[in-house]
Chain A
Amino acid sequence: MARLEIEGLCKGWDFPVIDRMDLTVEEGEFFVVVGPSGIGKTTLLRLIAGLESPNEGRIILGGNDISRLPPYKRPVAMTFESYALYPHLSVFENIASPLRARRLPKAEIEQRVKDVARLLKIDQLLTRRPAEVSGGQKQRTALGRTLVAEPEVFLLDEPISHLDAKIRHELRAQFHTLEALRRVANVYVTHDYAEALSLGDRIGVMGRGGLVQIGSAHEVFEKPQTLFVAEHLGQPSINVLDCELTARDGVLHARHRESLLTVPVAQAHVQRLNGGNADRVSYGIRPQHIAVVADGEVVRDGLHVIDSTVTLFEPLGTYAILITETAGATITALSSPEHRYTQGESIRLGIDTAEAFFFDAVNGKNLVL
């Protein structure tokens, strides 16, 4: 049994990086920590691995307190962003290294390395050196070295962020399907929110001092508890407007304080907002909930249409980014990459008001959860 429990964990240098963190990762669970760089994600992994010692708190694995154990006595394996392979050893020897360190019999080492290599589809490369294999294969070698040790906790530090899209998607699918990962507690760290959402059974969004929100992918993306969470997940980032709530013709509106932009508040949000009696809010609306309304298109209910001007049109892969000036405010929307817009072009944007978020202007709490 290997449930990982973290209790009241504190770690800091000049300032607290992790402040009284509590977290339980179940056996077989894939827990993903996502957050901006420099926030302390790797520090968390290093604490679990024993490469850093906590200022306070306990790390418990399968009921045993491992906080004071040296790294090599912890049943924990970690992969590093930089792979950290031995350049002078073959792929085989790299994978075998943790077993050699434990002085296992030769035949067993051979068997276990081959099993893992087959699982990761690198069994054809065992005699090559790291310099002679591709980035994706290096990553798989590093994974193999971690898996072969049969740890109880598997720590992964940005294992695929630096690879090409093609290999990244291949490895992502592998993380979903590897049975070996379902027998251990996994903590996976990334700065890529799409990767986090797609891989995590649960996701912890890390901010200053620790995890700001923990939940399923749908929860953290669609029901962010704070403005920080909403801003960190999603690309391009959510539009955030400093707004006042005012009634106009008997309907509650959010009025941008720095421009002429005013958007009606959807009925579902009105009740929740009145309870909070905040008249100043951060109005958040994701770019994907703002679309170009074509001439003559029937405007459906709940869509608030405003005239805008295109400032920048940037076609990417799946979508295009449209940065616009809307009633004096800068609004980012998503559009189809197949329809070109030119700078200065007049368009109409439809804001899906039911999808908006309202955050407390002072503490950033989501007021319409």
Chain B
Amino acid sequence: MARVTLDNVNKIYVSRRGNVHAVQDMSLVIEDGEFISLLGPSGCGKSSTLRMIVGLESVTSGEIRFDGELVNELEPQERNVAMAFETYALYPNFTIEENLGFPLEVRGISKQDRKEEVHRIAELLQIEDVLGQKPGALSGGQQQRVSLGRALIRAPAVFILDEVMSHLDAHLKFQMMIELRRIHQSLERTMLFVTHDQMEALALSDRVAVMSDGRLHQFGTRDDLYHAPANVFVAGFIGEPPTNFFTARPDESNGELTLLTLDGGARFHLSAERASRIRAHGANQYVIGIRPQNMSRIANGLKTSITAQVLLNEYSGEHSILTLTVGENRLQAITASSDGIKRDESAELYYHPDNVLVFDVETENLLT
């Protein structure tokens, strides 16, 4: 168990073709027993960050601490960190029992104790019935569990999962997520999960650190990321379908401040709080963000709406996704799967003014 602290951590890769600043001034506190995710598109610096925590990569500047103790100079094996990989990395010629017991064998733990520990972990991961088999005979999901088990068996202070679910298909992934959540609840280990898949990150972790271009944009809970995304990048990256964005200008009429898209195609009403914030801010353009989930074909007591033309109605089982045009802009909205609205028909989309997010055009930061 450990509290992990990153304080102004930087990673610069030096090469002949120029230096790459892979991680920039990253500061983060992971509480003891917390389950967090590092989330971002490929090349965002999440893997470099993780490799520095594990000790596979040196820290260019800044400090990494486990429970207050500086670990920058410690070798990976001295850090008590275990890692499960995307590729499973199992020994193909060993049985599952031998694969699981290997980290203990290396530490010189007796055969009897090893056996007990292996069975305890196998029970937790529900792979007891395959202990005698070799990795090749197992399904992808089972191999992934063995790989997790081998990392868990070392009873690490920090447990790191690197893209461990990318190779699983949707159903296995789903089961695995629920299983990992259960494992975390029963072990209460500090867990760090690295992924490019926002659904996995949101489902698994207590808090998510969203990164891109080597920078940490926001570190927060699902609700923080949804309702108060720090900037345009976070708002666009978190959520599926992605957030709709419009560039708009303030328009004052009848004592109400609204935001009108630049082509005049749609007018958005704002919460009183945000309107006064914009008045105080006084720029002549803003970026509006509104999630497809927050645009509804049913008024349900809402009085604010925009009118848009349907381009596509994509049925996807539980619900349908509408792609529409309003003026020169495109947007998406979620509707009921029974909604038969078709291309070129006009749709009234209702929204709550509280769900209209407003960002600064220059800095792209949320206006709070």
Q: A residues touching B (Cβ–Cβ < 8 Å)? A: 36-38, 134-135, 162, 164-166, 169, 172-173, 176-177, 191-195, 197-199, 217-218, 221, 232-237, 286, 288, 312, 314-319, 321, 323, 334, 337
Contacts and interface: CB of A to CB of B under 8 A. Distances in A.
Nearest to A343: B185
Contacts of A194: 316-317
B314 interface: yes
A165 B323 contact: no
Secondary structure at chain A's binding surface: helix, strand, loop or mixed?
mixed
Given A221-B317, A318-B240, A318-B293, A235 B312 contact: no
B242 A234 contact: no
B334 A314 contact: no
A235 B203 contact: no
B156 interface: no
Given A194-B316, A318-B240, A165 B170 contact: no
Nearest to A216: B315
A165 B314 contact: no
B203 A166 contact: no
Given A234-B317, A315-B222, A317-B293, A173 B312 contact: yes
Contacts of A312: 178, 181-182
B196 interface: yes
Given A36-B171, A37-B169, A164-B196, A197 B222 contact: no
Interface string B210-243: 0000000000001100100000000011111110
A192 B171 CA distance: 9
23 contacts: A37-B169, A135-B41, A164-B196, A164-B237, A165-B198, A165-B239, A165-B241, A166-B242, A169-B241, A173-B323, A177-B312, A193-B170, A194-B316, A197-B314, A198-B316, A199-B314, A221-B337, A286-B318, A314-B177, A314-B181, A315-B223, A318-B334, A337-B226
B42 interface: yes
Nearest to A192: B170
Contacts of B202: 315-317
A199 B320 CA distance: 12
B286 to A, nearest CB: 21
Contact of A135 (B42, B239, B311, B316): B42
Contact of B169 (A36, A172, A321): A36
Given A169-B332, A337-B222, 6 more contacts: A193-B170, A217-B316, A235-B170, A314-B203, A317-B198, A318-B319
B315 A197 contact: yes
B167 to A, nearest CB: 9
A191 B237 CA distance: 22
Interface residues of B, number: 41
A170 to B, nearest CB: 8
B238 to A, nearest CB: 8
Contact of A235 (B140, B174, B240, B311): B174
A217 B323 CA distance: 18
Question: Which of A134, A197, A288 has the largest number of chain B CB atoms within 10 A?
Answer: A197
Contacts of B182: 312
B263 to A, nearest CB: 20
Contacts of A217: 315-317
Contacts of A165: 198, 237, 239-242
Interface in B264-279: none
